[in-house]
Structure 1
Amino acid sequence: MGSLGERKRIQLPHVVVFPCPGQGHMNPLMEFAKRRAYRNLHVTFIATERVRERMIQAQEGAAIHVTSALQNIRIETISDGLSPDCEETNDVDMRMDLMKKVGGLTFQRVIERLNSQGHTNKVSCIVYDSLLNWVPHIANKFNITSAFFWTQSCAVYAIYYHFYTGMVKAKDETENVRDVIEIPGLPQLCQSDTPSFLQSSNPCESLLRLVMDQFSTIFQATWILGNSFNELEMTEIQSINSLIPIVTVGPLVPSAFLDGNNPQDQDVGIHLWKTENCIDWLNTKEASTVAYVSFGSVAVLSKEQIIEIALGLKASRYSFLWVIRPDQNKEGKNNVHDFLNGFLEDTIDQGLVVSWCSQAAVLNHPSVGMFVTHCGWNSTLESLSSGLPVVTISQWSDQTTNSKYIEEVWKTGIRLNKTAYGLVGKDEIEKSVKTVMESEDGVELRKNALKWKTLAKEAMMKGGSSDKNIEWFIREVIGRTAAA
């Protein structure tokens, strides 16, 4: 491909990036958008009105580098069919149906407006979240190419696709639940290793339909992109590529903490909660002495589980930084507010609890020595990219599969399983933290984590596997734009 200077002399394409409106989906797609903008492409990022309002509220007092990281990205808003001030709803079917009907209509109006603003703003490609399976229809209506973007691991991509096509079934011919599931390119899986929506105990039929429907229009997309890298999931990628090829362009974490191509990119730049400054507190701690604890943007832990984690952290005697979202710490019946107040008083010299933080900056701070995580895919990639060993307490969705890979395939962490009472106990928390921080097993986990950090960095550096794939994608879009 020609140099950047040569590319500037031709009309560069305009890429629209359209995530599902959730923190875990927006993060990788925003990083993808920033990397396109850094390569001097025109990029528009789509956010719902509700998301934009929450972003504005959360940005109060945000660091300057967050704003500058997004300065080359245009943000357009659409409606998701819900008023900005209405209460959140757990009715997935209703929300996704409104997103398709109302969001789809307002998204088309954005495309029409961008196309009417002149040749430089005409949309060349739509990169869309795989959950928005109706976007290819809109792209085809405007004769625009589209890219299906997978936000989870390639292993989970393969699992879902094999279940979607019926190549693998959850039950045998006698309707007995399968204990062992075999999928080409993947390690042998117990049913409990598969995503929770595929397990016999799954209570979320609407979410199972949602994840399966991702594949219903996949062949209408021009390309399939994934947030992973070849070295991490080589056999999985090779196996699934014989059926439904995916091009890996990750890990999509802030550049400053990975390849260093864009030193200003130190934060995703979009947050649905106000980030708190915990760096000053971390600066007071010695190297590799802090356990960072976070369960992401969706998981809601029970009061009982939070208490067990708190007591385990206290007993470990290691410093801890714990993210507990505002919706997990409200005053009222069955909340943890009162308990946490007392707990923080007892551990004032040991720990810090914040409502939200810039996770990439925390994971790469020298005082942080480990990560206690729900094992969502973004957090998994961020832990691997920062070279940190982990303790996994998976909750749902793909986290069960990611946890298996962390412990048994990549060997960078310890997987904790719930007891018959549905909890991970305080003794297990204490033991696992001490194992990672001070045992020979912990030394080996850290060694493996640092190996993956090096490979992740190499994948995204110039000439690396993901860098080549990104350049290939840009070349493909430019070629089709020129031919249009």
Structure 2
Amino acid sequence: FSYNKKKKTQTQGLGRERKRGIMEEIRRKRVLMVPAPFEGHLPSMMNLVSSLSSKGFSITIVRTQYNFKDISAKFPHLHFVTIDDGLSGSTLGLVDFLLKLNSVCEPLLKEFITLHNDVDFIIYDEFVYFPRQVAEDLNLPKMVFSASSAVTSISRCVLMDLQENGLLPPQDERSQLEEVVPEFHPFRYKDLPVTAYGSMEGLMLLYGNVSNRGSSCGIIHNSSESIEKDFTSAAQDKWGVQVYSVGPLHMTDFATSCPSLFDEERNCLEWLDKQQPNSVIYISIGSLAMTKEEEFVEMAMGLVQSKQPFLWAIRPGSITGDESLDSLPEQFRETVTEGRGFVVKWAPQKEVLGHPAVGGFWNHCGWNSTLESISCGVPMICRPYSGDQWVNTRLMTHEWQTALEVDGELDRGIVEMAVRRLIVGPEGEEMRNRATKLKAKVEVSVRIGGSSHSALNSLVDSIWSSSSSIGV
């Protein structure tokens, strides 16, 4: 607001009243947000929530009973609602589970919104798409939130088209899988987001629903145009709606540390304090990926043979077989006892990656982990397991050249060589330099005037204008 200097005393009170009135009107804009109940999805959605809440919107978070952990104490200004989906003890594979979850939750959400009659706008995670039909039935504006990259969204459509037209090579035809997909450079058939968690038939049904976005007001990506501008533009052309690349959301001004769904062991940070700069390889395969017991042993011995300090997060239940350290060779246990290695069940990952002792990150290459490694300037060793991890690995290794890929059968010699290449070899040093430059680019994007900062402001304006005409 601007004031005439001669009338400042007279008009200042009026200006304050006007500003307060506008802010109160904005606060009445009620946004209902639905995150997916997974470690790789919830934190990024909650960072978006914090950003929108800081702009004055009233936020209601709808969570499922499945994988539920109470995080409301961390966000006292928000309203939390839980849908009793009855799936807490589900033994379904991930793909079938998501199809079931969406089917169960759609009528429950519609009943809730109809009963309370106080929602102006809906934002939902792409994998919990049940609010889409509810919004259409109730004439509410909506947007899709993707915790993945823009190119992953496009890759799902490429995969569906190839499968529908019978052009997808069989998964055992290795030579064909190495070929680049026509008109989708630089991605090969092997880089497409197939799943380890269900059938191809179920995956096509899931991706069909996930990719149904044309009726939305926009698509929000936890990504940045600074690292995938061409793919952001392609996604916008594909769906014909505005794409808002507002990430990395954990780097934005109002980012809030969302409590992990797993218990973090912070004592590893004290161990890192005792290590030399860029000397430690940090290993974590994320919240869903699995490792065979044989690979577990080979990984352990490869770390021993690498002669490098290591921090290894071994998530309970992530090993198909005996996951106790007692099952590993004595040489590995001695290495840990002597202090060159440190093992936890789950680590505070952003703090670990930001620690000066960490020189590399061995990971499945999920998008959250990819963004966290980029934001800390840490190069990676990628061993993708399922879904978008294949796409992200190709970005890291081919487009940005900040990572190595370890593919195929794993043995201790391969592990040793990969770790030494990344931590002490000249190739690793070059990757570290490129990762540092990539970090600088995304840091600029979230500052005032940067692409992600501007996209977030545009998103706020769009929600305001879309919801202002709805009377619910």
- The match for 2:305 is 315
Deviation per CA, 1:319-364: give whole Å up to 9, x if none. 111111111369xx64445324953344221111111122111111
Q: The residue matched to 1:149 in structure 2 has which SS? A: strand
1:447 counterpart SS class:
helix
What pairs up with 1:51-450 in 2 under 5 angstroms? 51-52=67-68, 55-56=69-70, 68=74, 70-82=75-87, 84=88, 86=89, 88-92=90-94, 95-112=97-114, 114-115=116-117, 122-165=118-161, 171=167, 180-182=179-181, 184=183, 186-197=184-195, 204-215=200-211, 217-244=212-239, 245=241, 247-254=243-250, 258-259=251-252, 261-262=253-254, 265=256, 267=257, 269-277=258-266, 278-328=268-318, 334-340=322-328, 342=330, 343-348=332-337, 349-418=339-408, 423-450=409-436
CA distance in 2 between counterparts of 1:192 and 1:96 reads 24
- Pairwise CA RMSD: 3.1
Question: Following the alignment from structure 1 to structure 2, what is the Cα–Cα distance between the partners of residues 237 and 438?
Answer: 35
**In 1, Cα distance between equivalents of 2:167 and 2:198:** 14
Q: How far, CA to CA, are the matches of 1:361 and 1:168 in structure 2?
A: 44
SS of 1:188's partner is: coil
Range with bigger deviation, 159-168 or 404-413 = 159-168
User: CA distance change for structure 1 residues 127 and 251 in 2, over 3 Å: closer, same or farther?
Assistant: same
Cα 1:143–1:341, aligned 2, differ >3 Å: closer, same or farther?
Answer: farther
Per the alignment, residue 459 of structure 2 pairs with: 473
1:119 maps to none
- AA aligned to 2:264 is T
Which of 26, 31, 49 is the equivalent residue of 2:47? 31
How far apart, in 2, do the equivalents of 1:73 and 1:297 lie?
26
Report which of the two structures shows the higher radius of gyration computed on alpha carbons: 2
Mapped partners of 1:313, 1:358: distance in 2: 21
Pair 179,324 (structure 1): closer, same or farther in 2 beyond 3 Å: closer
Separation in structure 2 between the aligned mates of residue 344 and residue 4 of structure 1, nearest angstrom: 64
State the AA in 2 paired with 1:77: T
- Structure 2 counterpart of 1:73, one-letter code: L
Tell me, what secondary structure is at the counterpart of 1:51?
A: coil
> Would the aligned equivalents of 2:168 and 2:189 in 1 still touch at CA under 8 Å?
no
- Go from structure 1 to structure 2 and tell me whether the alpha carbon gap of 1:473 and 1:72 turns closer, same or farther (over 3 Å shift): same
Say yes or no: does 1:11 pair with 2:6.
Answer: no
How big is the shift at 1:253? 4.2
Offset at residue 368 of structure 1 (A): 1.3
For structure 2, the residue ranges without an aligned partner over 5 or more in a row are 3-17
Give me the TM-score of the superposition, normalised by structure 1: 0.83
Q: TM-score, normalised by structure 2?
A: 0.85
User: Which amino acid in the other structure matches residue 235 of structure 2?
Assistant: I
SS in 2 for 1:147: strand
Task: Please list every run of 5 or more consecutive structure 1 residues that lacks an aligned counterpart in the other structure.
Answer: 60-65, 116-121
Q: Which residue of 2 aligns with 1:21?
A: 37
Q: Quote the sequence identity (%).
A: 23
CA contact (8 A) 1:34 1:73 kept: no
Shift of 1:309: 1.3
Deviation at 1:125, TM superposition (A): 1.4
| C-alpha distance in 2 between matches for 1:227 and 1:169 | 31
Give how far 1:239 is off. 2.9
CA displacement at 1:297 relative to structure 2: 0.5
Q: Is the 8 A contact 1:226 1:246 kept in 2?
A: no
Runs of 4+ in structure 1 displaced over 4 angstroms? 1-7, 165-170, 176-179, 201-204, 333-337
Deviation per CA, 1:434-460, whole angstroms, max 9, x where unpaired?
112222211210111011111111111
Secondary structure of the 2:113 match is helix
Describe the shift of the 1:365–1:114 C-alpha distance in structure 2 as closer, same or farther (beyond 3 A): farther
Give the conservation status (yes or no) of the 8 Å contact 2:283–2:312. Answer: yes
**Aligned-partner SS, 1:23:** coil
Q: Secondary structure at the match of 1:382?
A: helix
How far does the alpha carbon of each residue in 1:102-161 deviate from its partner, in whole angstroms, 9 at most, with x for none?
32233234324543xxxxxx3221111112333211112332211012222222211222
3-state secondary structure, aligned to 2:142: strand
Query: In 1, Cα distance between the equivalents of 2:463 and 2:425?
Result: 50
- Contact preservation (8 Å) 1:16, 1:127: yes
Give 1:391 shift: 0.6
* In structure 2, C-alpha distance between the alignment counterparts of 1:4 and 1:403, rounded to whole Å: 48
Q: Paired residues, what number?
A: 445
* Per-residue CA distance 1:230-263 (angstroms, 9 max, x = gap): 1211222223322224523343442xxx35x24x
| Aligned-partner residue type, residue 288 of structure 2 | V
Sort the Cα spacing of 1:243 and 1:306 in 2 relative to 1 into closer, same or farther, 3 A. same
1:396 aligned counterpart, secondary structure: coil
Q: 1:193 to 1:164 in 2, by over 3 A?
A: closer
* Offset from partner CA, 1:72-121 (integer Å, 9 cap, x none): 33322112222x4x3x4134465335423432233234324543xxxxxx
